[in-house]
Amino acid sequence: MKYYFVAAAALKVASASRPTRGAYRALSRLKGGPRPVIFDQALWLLDGFPEQEGRLLDLGTGWVHAYSLHPALLRDYELHCFDVADHRHFESFVRTVPIVLDQIRQMALGPATVERAAQRAAALVAAKDFDEAYRTARIAYQISPGGIPTYPANYFDTIYSIDVLEHVEAGIFPAAAAAWYRILKPGGQFLAQVGIDDHLAFYDGKFGSKRYLRYSQRTWDWLLGNDLVYINRFTASRIVALLQNAGFVIDDFKTDDTGDTAPDQVHPDYRNQSEPDIRAVRLLVRAHKPLDN
C-alpha cells in the first residue's frame, strides 16, 4: 500500500507545472523499450474491423500506436492516430513491431498473408523516423490538445480505442463523444475497451483494484489525483450512458467484475453506485452510428 501513496505524491508533484510534466515524460522515455500489446485485445479489435479496407481512427494512440500495428501489417486500411499530446517514442515503436508480428504468426492465417505482414514489419523496422514509417503503413497522425478530434463529418468507418476512455477528462467527455459520433460514418462501428480500475494501484502491483472508491472525492482531488496519470473514474454504466447520449446505439457491452473492493468498503461519496459498477474493472463496448444519421 505504501507505494500507492508514494506514487500519488510523486505524480502530484510532477503534474505541478509544464517543466515538471515535461521532465517526467522525458525520463519515462529513457528506457526506450517496447510497449505491451495484449494479444486478446488486438484480436477483439480485428474481429470488429471492416474485412479488408476502410478508414480507421485510433483514439489515444500513445507511444507507439500499438493497436494500429496489427491492422497496418495485415490489411489495407487508411489509418489515423489521434492524441492530445505527442507522446511518441520511435525506438519503442520499432521494438514493438516484432512483438506484433510474432502475435500475427500465432493466428490462423495463410502463408501469403503472414509473409506480407513480415515484409511490412521489416519496412517499419527499417524506417528512419515516424514520417517514413507512416508512409509505409498509411498512417496519419493528429494532435488536438483540447481532446476533441477535428476530422470531417462522416469520415471514418471505424473508431477504436484500448485503455483510453478512462483518461478522457470528465468535463469534456460529452463533447468528445459527440465529436466521435459526428466523424463516424452512418453504420460505422465504435469499439472501446476501458480500464476503469485504479491506475495508481499499478504501482503496488495490483491490477484490477478499485482502491480509489475507498477515499472521498475531496481526498482524491487534493491528495491522490494527478494530471499525468489522470483517470476520470467513470463507472461502466456512466460511460455507456454518455455514448448513448451522444447518439450511439450500443450493440454489446460487458464488464470484467474482478475488482478487489466490496460495496461495504466504498466511501459514502460513491455509495450510489450499483454493486456491478463497484466491482467492474474493465468495460468492453461495441456501438454503431445509425444509418439514418
Q: Is the pLDDT of residue 202 over 90?
A: no
Q: Report pLDDT for 214.
A: 92
- 3-state SS, 78-98, equals EEEEEECCCCCCHHHHHHHHH
Distance CA 253, CA 209 (A): 20
Residue 249 lies in a domain: yes
Q: Which of 37-46, 204-213, 283-292 has the lowest mean pLDDT?
A: 204-213
Three-state SS at 181: helix
Domain that holds residue 253: 2-288
pLDDT average, residue stretch 179-206: 93
Percentage of the chain beyond pLDDT 70 is 98
Q: Is 132 exposed, middle or buried (0-12, 13-18, 19+ CB in 10 A)?
A: middle
Q: Which three cell numbers stand for residue 218?
A: 475531496
- The answer to whether residue 27 is domain-embedded is yes
Q: What is the CATH number of the domain that holds 213?
A: 3.40.50.150
Q: In sequence order, what are the residues at sequence separation of 6 or more whose Cβ sits closer than 8 angstroms to the Cβ of residue 56?
A: 49, 50, 68, 71, 77, 78, 79, 80, 156, 157, 158, 159, 160
DSSP state of 52: S
- What does the pLDDT read at residue 30? 66
Asked whether residue 121 is assigned to any structural domain, the reply reads: yes
For residue 293, being part of any structural domain is answered with no
pLDDT in tens, 81-120: 999 999 899 999 999 999 999 999 999 999 999 999 999 9
How big is the CA angle at 64 (ends 58 and 65), to the nearest 5 degrees?
A: 15
Measure the CA angle with vertex 268, ends 266 and 270; round to 5°.
65
Q: What is the spatial distance between Cα 134 and Cα 2, in angstroms, rounded to a whole number?
A: 43
∠ CA 174-233-263, rounded to 5°: 130
Of 117, 281, 136, 135, nearest in space to 208 by CA: 281
- The residue type found at 167 is H
Those residues with Cβ within 8 angstroms of residue 1's Cβ, 6 or more apart along the chain or in another chain: 204
8 Å CB contact between 100 and 73: yes
Residue appearing with cell numbers 507505494 = 3
| Residue 85 backbone class (left: φ over 0; alpha: ψ -120 to 50; beta: rest) | beta
Which pLDDT value is given to residue 171?
96
* pLDDT (0 to 100) of residue 31: 65
- Cell numbers that stand for 25 in this block: 515524460
| Residue 35: pLDDT band with limits 50, 70, 90 | confident
Please classify residue 171 by burial: count the beta carbons closer than 10 Å to its beta carbon, then call 0-12 exposed, 13-18 middle and 19+ buried.
exposed
What pLDDT is attached to residue 146?
92
133 pLDDT higher than 70: yes
In a domain, 65, yes or no: yes
Query: Number of structural domains, the chain?
Result: 1
- The set of cell numbers assigned to 179 is 465529436
Please tell me the least confidently modeled range out of 26-30, 71-75, 179-183, 245-249.
26-30
Average pLDDT of the chain to the nearest whole number: 93
Q: What is the DSSP letter of 165?
A: G
Q: Put residue 60 in one of left, alpha, beta given phi > 0 → left and psi -120 to 50 → alpha.
A: left
- Looking at residue 247, its pLDDT comes to 98
Position 14 in a domain:
yes
Q: Is residue 59 part of a domain?
A: yes
Query: Average of pLDDT values for 6-29?
Result: 83
